[in-house]
Amino acid sequence: MQLLAIAAVLLGILALQNQIYRKYALQNVHYRCYLSRSQVFEGEEIELVEEIENRKWLPLPWFKTEITVSRWLDFAGEQSQVSDTSRYVPSFFSLRSYQKVSRRWRLKCLKRGEYAVDRVVLVASDLLGNVNQSVGADVHTSVLVLPRPLGEMTGIETRHLTGELAVRRTLLEDPFLNAGVREYMEFDPMNRIHWPATAKEQKLMVFQNDSSTRQSVTIILNMQSRAFEHGVTAVDADKMETAIRLCAGLFESTLAAGMPLRFAANCCTTGARDTIFTGEYWGRDYVESLFQLLARLQLRSTEEFFAFLGDCYHNLTSTDLILVTGFVDERILEVVRRKQADGVRVRTMLLGEIPADLDASGCEIFELSPAALEGGAA
């Protein structure tokens, strides 16, 4: 009888414990999850911080969080489970009454893009594991991963992207651009007299000035990785990621040179439909906004590159054009030659090789190997 009484008491205590944990386990539990930075470059590390506070008298001997994020946020090592697009990370805690604990995960951002903590599930259990209570937690934290700039192996030096160009487009001469000397005329100011040339020629000679314009550049990205690839995700996705990093490197070059910049691409950002064609500005804030734009680009072309160049042809008013593309064909080179005939310098950054049967004479094309670019940057 005593054994039966003891067993009955134990069963009663167990049932009471189960009922208490079933009702109160997840009450007054405060959970917070956040990322230490909102914007980083590819390859950089940040922290994911979990904070849990048990604001009641009931201890939580077994508490688990289940975090779901993008697979491109690498952390937890062997503890994580990785699928095609997601990474699942379980995290275990034990909390006493009115205790607060935190855990910091070192997290490496592997690929450009905008990533949020998709989902967190909180699971609490009793001492014996008989009761499992779960609830979803509201988490509002994300990170924008900017593309890592490639610039060391582009074949274009910063000095080639800066300076003034002599033109015949303005009526006023540039007093700082000397093109030689000429004979003095009636209305020339005296401070323009070139005295050494005057002594040599035995007549008044003055500086000859020319008209000039400030250089500006438009960088155009072709999101087609191959010639016949419209409206679908890029077949050569890795090549297009390299092209995006190359654009980032070119943006940095123009920033160092203080040059006005415009960006165009036959693709769109996440959640948008329009192709990219920005205004012409300069400065660090503007270049940072272009990096953010690159981070959100979809690997899908909105129209054929040749058609895109034709649509924006008359809006390409910069003195320099740089095409970043995975291929070239006769139609693309036709646009290049037309622009060069207009007095615009056009350079093509080709991630690959010029086809053997393609006549690229008269075009300035840099053949770049994606593997060599990534290897040199690393």
32, 173: one domain? no
User: Is residue 10 in a domain?
Assistant: no
The H or E element that residue 115 is part of is strand 113-116
Domain limit, last residue, from 174, 195, 213 = 213
Q: Bridge-partner residues for 48, per DSSP?
A: 35, 105
Range of the domain at 77: 28-146
Q: What is the pLDDT of residue 359?
A: 86
Angle at 121 between CA 119 and CA 127, to 5 degrees: 165
Task: Judge if 61 and 187 occupy the same domain.
Answer: no
pLDDT at 144: 96
In a domain, 257, yes or no: yes
**Strands 142-146 and 100-109: what pairing?**
unpaired
Same domain membership, residue 232 and residue 127: no
If asked whether residues 181 and 282 sit together in one domain, one would say no
8 falls within a domain:
no
Q: How far apart are CA 373 and CA 378, in angstroms?
A: 9
Which residues are registered as beta bridge partners of 366? 349
Q: Are residues 227 and 373 in the same domain?
A: yes
Token pair in block for residue 67: 């975090």
Does 367 share its domain with 220? yes
Closest CA to 363 of 351, 345, 377: 345
What is the rounded distance in angstroms from the CA atom of residue 223 to the CA atom of residue 333? 17
One-letter amino acid at 26 equals: L
CB 86, CB 69: distance < 8 Å: yes
Q: What is the pTM assigned to this prediction?
A: 0.78
Rounded Cα distance between 328 and 308, Å, is 14
pLDDT reported for residue 49: 95
Residue 301 lies in a domain: yes
**Last residue in a domain, options 195, 213, 231:** 213
Burial class (CB in 10 A: 0-12, 13-18, 19+), 49: middle
Do residues 82 and 226 share a domain?
no
DSSP string for residues in 338-365: HHHHTT-EEEEEEES---TT---TT-EE
Residue 13 lies in a domain: no
Cα(142)–Cα(82) distance, integer angstroms: 19
State the CATH number of the domain containing residue 338: 3.40.50.410
Give the β-pairing of 100-109 and 45-54.
antiparallel
Category of 314 on φ-ψ map: left (φ > 0), alpha (ψ -120 to 50) or beta: alpha
320 in any annotated domain: yes
| CA dist., res. 24 & res. 182, Å (int) | 95
Q: Which residues contact 55 (CB under 8 A, 6 or more apart)?
A: 28, 29, 30, 98
What's the CA gap between 165 and 167, in Å, rounded?
Answer: 6
Say if residue 186 is in the same domain as residue 235. Answer: no
The residue to which tokens 């129209």 are assigned? 303
| 81 and 101 inside one domain | yes
> What pLDDT is attached to residue 233?
79
Q: What phi, psi does 158 have (nearest 5°)?
A: -60, -35
**Could you report the average pLDDT of every consecutive run of 10 residues in the chain (378 residues)?**
64 60 78 94 94 90 90 86 88 90 93 91 78 82 94 47 46 51 74 80 75 75 84 83 94 82 90 85 91 94 90 88 93 92 90 88 86 63
Q: CA dihedral defined by 377, 281, 291, 314, rounded to 10 degrees? A: -90
In this prediction, residue 134 carries a pLDDT of: 81
Residues 263 and 368 in one domain: yes
Which residue type, as a one-letter code, is found at position 314?
H
Strand order in the sheet with 113-116: 39-41, 142-146, 113-116
Number of domains in the chain: 3
In a domain, 6, yes or no: no
If asked whether residues 260 and 296 sit together in one domain, one would say yes
Residue 5 within any structural domain of the chain: no
Helices in 124-192 by DSSP H: which ranges? none
182 and 110 in a single domain? The answer is no
Which CATH number covers residue 38? 2.60.40.1530
* Interval 127-154: pLDDT, tens: 766 667 788 888 889 999 999 998 654 4
Q: So what's the pLDDT on residue 105?
A: 92
